[in-house]
Amino acid sequence: DADVTQTPRNRITKTGKRIMLECSQTKGHDRMYWYRQDPGLGLRLIYYSFDVKDINKGEISDGYSVSRQAQAKFSLSLESAIPNQTALYFCATSDPARAPHTDTQYFGPGTRLTVL
Amino acid sequence: EDQVTQSPEALRLQEGESSSLNCSYTVSGLRGLFWYRQDPGKGPEFLFTLYSAGEEKEKERLKATLTKKESFLHITAPKPEDSATYLCAFSQGGSEKLVFGKGTKLTVNP
């Protein structure tokens, strides 16, 4: 079984709809991240969480919200989806205690979101 | 501004033709330099972390090296299955976040 899973893997929705993307991990890592990837722009950080009570904005958090339901679960919501949120979305995890690779992040398989 | 630039954007090689990918970075207090491989439609797969200038890491046909201003990913005698986009990223002291480059798309023709 994959260590980091994302659901759904593909989603097509319409402008204005609320969407939730989910991420689960069995790695036992405390830190979780959400990124989006667009052609030509690379990976950009949306939100990150260092534990259940610690949520932080990344560089492009506008239009998104997150929820850390448990150590193993981190959800990303688009409250009112718009077409320019069409992208690949990735969840990642890291473990600060995993010396020496304390910053290394491990990625899920991604969700391809299309907003019409 | 802290940033990372990868070159070339795309590289085509014949099978067996060795080459290198470049990752130039500008950051104060580099903590780690990371290389990932990404196949189309999939999540980035961790390859290497480098922590100090002069460090080298190897895995099969790949070798990553680090200087004070750049990192190289050397590919020796590549095979078609090495075709992927290779991403470089860094972390800096005081922040556990990674900053990614835009990647180099490598195609190895048989």
pLDDT tens for A31-56 read: 999 999 998 888 999 999 999 999 99
Peptide bond into B80 cis (omega under 30): no
pLDDT of residue A115: 97
* A89 and chain B in contact, CB less than 8 A: no
pLDDT-derived band at B92 (thresholds 50, 70, 90) equals confident
**B46-62 tens-digit pLDDT:** 999 999 999 999 999 99
Determine the average pLDDT of the residues in A47-70. 94
Segment A14-30 shows an average pLDDT of: 95
Average pLDDT score over chain A: 92
B93 pLDDT higher than 80: no
Radius of gyration of chain B (CA): 13
Looking at residues A93-105, what average pLDDT do you find? 77
Beta bridge partners of A38: A42
Chain B residues with a Cβ under 8 Å from any Cβ in chain A: 31-32, 34, 36, 41-46, 49, 51, 87, 89, 91, 96-98, 100-103
Say if residue B28 is exposed, middle or buried (CB neighbours under 10 Å; 0-12, 13-18, 19+).
Answer: exposed
User: pLDDT tens digit string along B72-90?
Assistant: 999 999 999 999 999 999 9
pLDDT of residue B88: 96
Q: What confidence score (pLDDT) does residue B108 get?
A: 97
Task: Give just the sign of the alpha carbon dihedral B40, B21, A94, B2.
Answer: negative
A1: confidence class by pLDDT, cuts 50, 70, 90: low
Q: Is the pLDDT of residue A61 over 80?
A: yes
Indicate whether B1 pLDDT > 80.
Answer: no
Q: Does the pLDDT of residue A99 top 80, yes or no?
A: no
Could you tell me what percent of chain A has a pLDDT over 70?
95
Whole-number pLDDT of residue B6: 96
pLDDT at A101: 62
Judge: B32–A42 Cβ closer than 8 Å, yes or no: no
Closest residue in chain A to residue B37, using alpha carbons only: A107
> What pLDDT, on a 0 to 100 scale, did the predictor assign at position A100?
60
Within B27-94, strands assigned E span 30-38, 45-50, 56-59, 62-66, 70-75, 84-92
* Helix, strand, coil tally for chain B in percent (to 5): 5, 65, 35
Tokens of B100: 């990614």
Q: How far is B47 from chain A (nearest CA, A)?
A: 10
CB nearest A31 (choices: B46, B91, B96): B96
Q: What is the pLDDT of residue B80?
A: 97
Of the residues B42, B59, B87, B88, the best mutation for testing chain A's interface (the one with the most A CB atoms within 10 Å of its CB) is B42
Q: Do B100 and A43 touch (CB under 8 A)?
A: yes
Contact A104 B44 (CB under 8 A): no
Q: When comparing pLDDT for A99 and B107, which is higher?
A: B107
Q: Return d(Cα B52, Cα B59) in angstroms, integer.
A: 18
pLDDT of residue B45: 95
